[in-house]
Structure 1
Amino acid sequence: MQFLHKDLGYLSSGEVVEVDLDTVANVKLMDSIDFGNYRNSRGHTYYGGYVTRSPFRVAVPGSGHWHVTIDLAGRGGSIRSSVRVIE
């Protein structure tokens, strides 16, 4: 599976992650354990989902180490994106 990945490092609960996309895509905010499961095609929990409008914003649910992944849900093509944290 191909995906874009951004390691956000340690974030505090309530910080907001903003993702800009140039096309529809799956956007997933995950902790380190769930990111490892995602990367290895195992069951995982995430915040986000299939995003059709940009920018997409999601609040960090708890303090810890966080990751964002972006994929095209099995569709071919390419994607341009940017990820930033809004404090």
Structure 2
Amino acid sequence: MTVVHRDLGTQYDGAILELLLDDRADVLILDPANYRRYCLGVGFHAYGGHGLHTPLRLPLPGAGHWHAVVTTADPFAEDAEAIRVRRPLAPVPGAGRAPGRAAATPAAAASVPLAA
């Protein structure tokens, strides 16, 4: 099993996480507090899911600082997943929203919240 972590930094509403997968993968999108809890092995809340196809596109839950954790079954996938964030081309309504608060847009609602 391979686990790849990316600090996505601060993102705006409407940003989309895009992954190019070599194999099936589990993807977690976490804010900094939940990423710390994930690293400690205690209960955390995340967005994401199971990726079966490439490219996999997941809208970030809202404005704020985010981390992505990708887990694959392939033990030899060094850094096989290309992970990038696509920013919106135009300002998205509500872009001034407080970090970590999900936007009430169809794109943001497409991410499925996960609980550990």
TM class by smaller structure:
0.7 to 0.9
Opposite residue 78 of structure 1, the aligned amino acid is F
Larger RCO, structures 1/2 (Cα 8 Å, 6+ apart): 1
> How many angstroms apart in 1 are the aligned matches of 2:56 and 2:76?
18
The alignment partner of 1:3 has SS state of strand
> How many angstroms apart in 2 are the aligned matches of 1:15 and 1:77?
30
RMSD: 1.6
Extract unaligned runs of 5+ from structure 1. none
Opposite residue 69 of structure 1, the aligned amino acid is V
Figure out how many residues of one structure are paired with residues of the other and give that number: 85
Hey, which bits of structure 1, 4+ residues long, moved more than 2 A? none
Q: Is the 8 A contact 2:27 2:48 kept in 1?
A: yes
> How many angstroms apart in 2 are the aligned matches of 1:6 and 1:81?
10
- Report which of the two has the higher share of strand: 1
Pairwise mapping of residues 67-78 of structure 1 onto structure 2 (< 5 A)?
Answer: 67-72=67-72, 75=73, 77-78=75-76
1:55 aligned residue: 55
- Larger gyration radius, structure 1 or structure 2: 2
- The TM-score, its normalising length taken from structure 2, stands at 0.66
**How far does residue 38 in structure 1 lie from its aligned partner after superposition?**
0.9
Opposite residue 13 of structure 1, the aligned amino acid is D
2:112 aligned residue: none
> How many angstroms apart in 2 are the aligned matches of 1:58 and 1:76?
22
Q: Is the 8 A contact 1:47 1:58 kept in 2?
A: no
**How far does residue 59 in structure 1 lie from its aligned partner after superposition?**
0.9
> How many angstroms apart in 2 are the aligned matches of 1:62 and 1:7?
15
- The TM-score, its normalising length taken from structure 1, stands at 0.86
> How many angstroms apart in 1 are the aligned matches of 2:27 and 2:68?
7
Opposite residue 49 of structure 1, the aligned amino acid is G
**How far does residue 78 in structure 1 lie from its aligned partner after superposition?**
2.7
2:114 aligned residue: none
